[in-house]
Every structure is written in structure tokens, then in C-alpha cells.
Amino acid sequence: MEPTQAAAAPTHLLSVLVWLPAIAGIFILFLPRQTPGLLRAVALGVGLFEFGKSLQLLIGSDYARGFRFVENVEWIPSLGIRYHLGVDGLSLWLVVLTTFLTPLVLYVSFGSIKARQKEYIASMLLLQSAMIGAFVALDLFLFYVFWELMLVPMYLIIGVFGGPNRVYAAVKFFIYTFAGSIFMLVAIVYMVVTFKELDPSHRYSFDYLDLMRLGFPRWTELALFGAFAVSFAIKVPMFPLHTWLPDAHTEAPTGGSMILAAVMLKLGTYGFMRFAMPFFPGASHMVGPTIAGLACAGILYGAAVAWRQKDFKKLVAYSSVSHLGFVMLGIIARTPQATTGAVLQSINHGISTGALFLLVGVIYDRRHTRDLGEFGGLAKVMPMYATFFILVTMSSIGLPFTNGFVGEFLVITGTFTADLLRIPYHVERSSGPSFVGMGPLYASLAALGVLFGAIYMLEAVQKVFWGPINNPKNRKLKDLNERELIGLIPLAILILWIGLRPQDFTKSIEPDVQGWIDQYEQKRQAVTRPSAQRPWMLSESDIRPPPRRQPRADAR
């Protein structure tokens, strides 16, 4: 968290990552519609260039701590709004995931989106800009701008290119998310005004590191945390605020669903990690057990509802609700294992759910139905498709050697030891009650969710791929074409790579997760002041944990 390894030379890498897609998107709007080849080439070129550029973020990020590639200049000085970007272990892989998936999604979509491709590409690129911006913004004003900016292109993607009920889904998506985020806006403004009151220099500041130093009395903290949490929980989406998601996913085009599930939902969990929890450790600790309970409820509920779905896409959508429950649980558990697992799992979910939506899109393009009852015995006519599908299913239900296993395993084992809900179990007269943490309870519930996941996914696989081909329409289905293969292969490689060598990824996540937990605990001790009536300013030592020995590569 603390900028121990500040970037030596000024760099504009993040600015390039954030703005290039938007500029390209606007540029594409001015290109002639008659030359789809040119449009595609520009979009793909920009997408791949972005991906290449984003790989530079990985250089030197192993075992590194603190924000890197920081850019910090004034934007609107009189209101303390800065253009402050930075990336650390929490956001690094999410940025790379975004740049990795966007060209892939664009490439795959070229097959299915035929009309108004120009607008589609422009929306996608604008969306990419906004999402990367939200991941790397360290100024809350800037973050809020990107956060809201994200809605418009996604809204257009769902509403213009989606299925029959697309308008309803798009409007529901927009209003739901917008309504959630405006409470966050008021909370941000409240924090900024408080900072101005308390800071000796009496300036406005939206800066992440400045606002981090605010301490609030208990009820204020709860209210502010609530405002942040509602807006992020809608995005995640957490049970019971998830009702927009199945609609949005079902109606969105394949590419929109992929981006929505793979990246956009991660902004919710990321928001919890980056903002809601470190800003309000007291409140988030207090309601932590409730949130963990909701996460478990989401895991089980999502799985149960997914089991009963007839629509393939709705099944995947509800499985998202279930998987995101793991991520939330890992974040709220705050043990190094669980939280690292949560960050990794949010990448995994992006890859495997992205792949699932892509695969569902493949049969939808061929049959124009997603009704599970319509299929059967597809493994015979589409062997390659079946192979990929089963691999992705393995990843989704968390079988060993796939990425899903690593993430879920880390989350569950980490949650076991988490200090979540403590209940007294044995009262000694001399030393008072002893407490037992209820981490195992949550972990068991989550583990039950893994089981459920296996049930619904395998049942779906069974219905679609095995058995006789009863439906004559399925006899002549074509197997994967070149475009779909090119889209799926990188995803499959990543599924196995993360499954087999997770340390390649976790080594750049773990140090910052550790720092995040240390800082959280340090600040939590400092803000637990039952007598506080007014907000106050924390000292540097309240939020900076004592330095930890840096884990070394050779220590493993």
C-alpha cells in the first residue's frame, strides 16, 4: 500500500492504457461504415497494442509492494481533484485481464455482430477505457467519473445489440447501478468536506491516500460504509441485490456478457478491496460477518437457482452470482490466503465465465436457442466444442489442475482461519469468556457451494453433450470455426496455466494483499474509539503498518 517502491522515472503507461481505446473508439466513429475490414483492423490493432502495453505492467511487479506506474498531476486544483493513477497487486491483473479480453471479445464478436458494427466497436473501446480507468484511478473523483462512464457504453451494448427483451434489461441495468452509485457520490463528498475541515492545510482533496487518513465515529462510519457498500454490492452483484444481473446477461450479446461478467463485475469486488474496506475498517469489520453471510447465501442461492435454469445463459449468469460470492467471502475474510485467493478467483472467474459465455454464444449462433432441453448428444457432432466446454466446466467447478481449483481452495482454506464472527463458547471466571471464530462455518457453507456447482454444471453438460441425439436439428451442427477456436485457445491456456503454476500470478498479488491486510488491521485498531463524537485525522502511524520482511523468491 505504501509507496515504498515508487516508480523511478515518470511514466505515462497507465495514461496510454486508459485513453488510447477511447481515442480509438471516437476515431472509429468517423471512419466510413462501408469498410468493415478497416474498422476491425483498427479495433483489433488497438486492442492488441493495449494488451502488449499492459504486459509492461508486469515487469518488476513480482514481490513488489505499493503503487506503481504512478501518475499524479493536478486536474481541477481549486477543488482538489487530481489526475492520480497507479496500479498495485490488487488491480494489476484486473487491468491485464481487461486488455486481454477486450481484443478477444471484439474478435469473437465480429462473427456474430453484423449490423452497426461501428457503434459496437466504439462502445467496446470506450468501455475498455472506462474500466481500466476505474481500476487504476487513485483519486475518488476520477474513479467516480470512470465508474459512471462505464454505464453508458454497456447500456448501449445491451440495449442496441441484445436479445428480444434488451431494452428492459438495459434500462434496469443502468438505473440499478446508477441508483447505487449516487449514494457513493454523497459519501465521497462527505469525506472530502470532512477532510477539508480537519486537514491543517484546509484544502479539498479527493486523493485516495489523503482520504485514507480520516477516522469517523462509529455510526458515521457505518453510514458511509453502507453508501459505498451498496454501490459496490450492486455491481458485484451480491445477493439480494443481484436481480439485474440475470436480465442483463440473458439479453446482452455474447461479447457484452463476456465483458460484463469477466471485468465489470470485478469492479464491485475491487471497489470493496480498494475503497470501502480500507476507508472504513471499523464498520466493515463490524458488518463483516453479515457480508460474509450474504456472500455464502449468494454462493448457495446462485448455485441452487442455476440448477433449475432451462436457459443456458441464465444458468451461467446465476453461476456468476455464486462464484462472485467466493470472491466476496475471500475479501471479507482478510486472511492472506483467502484474500489472495479472492483476487485470483476474480481473474479466474473472468476467464472461465468469459469462456462459458463465449461457448453458449457459439451454440446460440447455430441454433438460435439457449434452451437446455433442445440439446443432447452434441459431443458426437461437435467434438472440439465438447472438449473445450468440458475443460471450462472443470475450471468453473474448481477441479484440480484448473484455475478454479486454486482460487476456490485458497478462499475456503483462508476463510477457515478467518476472524469473522466470534462467539463466546466457554466462560472462565478468571479470564472471562473465550471466543471461537466462526470462520469454519462460512468455509463449510462455501464448500457446499462448490459441491452444488459441480451438480448444476455437470448436469448441464450431461444434458447437452451426452446421450442420444434426439433433436434432428442438432445432427448437422458445425463444430467450432477458426474464429471461435482462436478465441477459446488463449482462454484454455490460461485456465491450465493458472491451475498448474498459480505462483506465477500470486507472486505479484500476495505482497500487496499482505500489505492491504496489515494496513486494514492497523487502521482498525486506530479507529476503534468508542468515545469519538466527531471525525478526526489519523496519524501516519495509524495507517502505516510496521514494515514486514519482504518475501523473497528464494525463500520459497
Q: Which of 55, 179, 384, 500 binds another protein (CB under 8 A)?
A: 179
- Whichever of 199 and 365 has its CB closer to another protein, that residue is 199
- Asked whether the beta carbons of 505 and 419 are under 8 A apart, the reply is no
- Tell me: does residue 26 bind another protein (CB under 8 A): no
- Tell me: does residue 159 bind another protein (CB under 8 A): yes
CA-closest candidate to residue 94, choices 401, 409, 344, 366: 344
Residues 6+ apart with CB under 8 A from 50: 17, 20, 21, 99, 102, 103, 128
Sign of CA dihedral 206, 209, 215, 221: positive
Residue 446 to residue 46: CA distance in whole angstroms:
40
Q: Which of 18, 85, 138, 151 binds another protein (CB under 8 A)?
A: 151
- Asked whether the beta carbons of 299 and 445 are under 8 A apart, the reply is yes
- Whichever of 202 and 549 has its CB closer to another protein, that residue is 202
Residue 265 to residue 253: CA distance in whole angstroms:
16
Residue 347 to residue 90: CA distance in whole angstroms:
11
Q: Which of 51, 67, 100, 183 binds another protein (CB under 8 A)?
A: 183
User: Which range binds another protein by CB under 8 A, 169-177, 290-298, 307-315, 360-368?
Assistant: 169-177
Residues 6+ apart with CB under 8 A from 218: 282, 283, 286, 530, 532
Take residue 294 and report the three cell numbers written for it: 450474504
- Whichever of 65 and 172 has its CB closer to another protein, that residue is 172
- Asked whether the beta carbons of 259 and 321 are under 8 A apart, the reply is no
Residue 258 to residue 249: CA distance in whole angstroms:
9
Q: Which of 7, 23, 149, 304 binds another protein (CB under 8 A)?
A: 149
Chain residues 111-130 in contact with another protein, contact rule CB under 8 A: 116
Q: Which of 43, 70, 97, 192 binds another protein (CB under 8 A)?
A: 192
Name the minimum Å distance from CB 78 to another protein.
6
- Tell me: does residue 241 bind another protein (CB under 8 A): no
Name the minimum Å distance from CB 119 to another protein.
8
Name the minimum Å distance from CB 368 to another protein.
20
CA-closest candidate to residue 487, choices 359, 376, 396: 359
Residue 245, judged by CB atoms within 10 A of its CB (0-12, 13-18, 19+), counts as buried
Name the minimum Å distance from CB 313 to another protein.
20
Strand (E) or helix (H) holding 232:
helix 218-235
Q: Residue 2, Cβ neighbours under 10 Å: how many? A: 17
- Whichever of 171 and 399 has its CB closer to another protein, that residue is 171
- Whichever of 174 and 375 has its CB closer to another protein, that residue is 174
- Tell me: does residue 152 bind another protein (CB under 8 A): yes
Strand (E) or helix (H) holding 68:
strand 68-76
Sign of CA dihedral 315, 317, 318, 323: positive
Residues 6+ apart with CB under 8 A from 357: 249, 254, 257, 258, 261, 313, 316
User: Which range binds another protein by CB under 8 A, 39-47, 193-201, 378-386, 442-450?
Assistant: 193-201
Q: Which of 175, 384, 489, 500 binds another protein (CB under 8 A)?
A: 175
Name the minimum Å distance from CB 496 to another protein.
40
User: Which range binds another protein by CB under 8 A, 155-163, 240-248, 306-314, 385-393?
Assistant: 155-163
- Whichever of 53 and 203 has its CB closer to another protein, that residue is 203
- Whichever of 58 and 152 has its CB closer to another protein, that residue is 152
Sign of CA dihedral 493, 497, 499, 500: positive
- Whichever of 150 and 397 has its CB closer to another protein, that residue is 150
Site string for another protein, 194-213 (x = CB under 8 A): --xx-x-xxx----------
- Asked whether the beta carbons of 261 and 353 are under 8 A apart, the reply is yes
Q: How far apart are the first and last CA of the chain?
A: 23
Take residue 81 and report the three cell numbers written for it: 481533484
Chain residues 37-96 in contact with another protein, contact rule CB under 8 A: 75-79
Q: Which of 19, 49, 63, 178 binds another protein (CB under 8 A)?
A: 178
- Tell me: does residue 218 bind another protein (CB under 8 A): no
Q: What are phi and psi of 525, to 5 degrees?
A: -60, -40
- Whichever of 182 and 469 has its CB closer to another protein, that residue is 182
Residue 201 to residue 203: CA distance in whole angstroms:
6
User: Which range binds another protein by CB under 8 A, 143-151, 259-267, 303-311, 471-479?
Assistant: 143-151
Number of residues that bind another protein (CB under 8 A): 38
- Whichever of 38 and 193 has its CB closer to another protein, that residue is 193
CA-closest candidate to residue 14, choices 64, 62, 61, 68: 68
Q: Which of 120, 135, 155, 520 binds another protein (CB under 8 A)?
A: 155
- Whichever of 194 and 339 has its CB closer to another protein, that residue is 194
Per CB under 8 A, residues contacting another protein are 75-79, 116, 144-145, 148-149, 151-152, 155-156, 159-160, 166-167, 170-171, 174-175, 178-179, 182-183, 185-186, 189-190, 192-193, 196-197, 199, 201-203
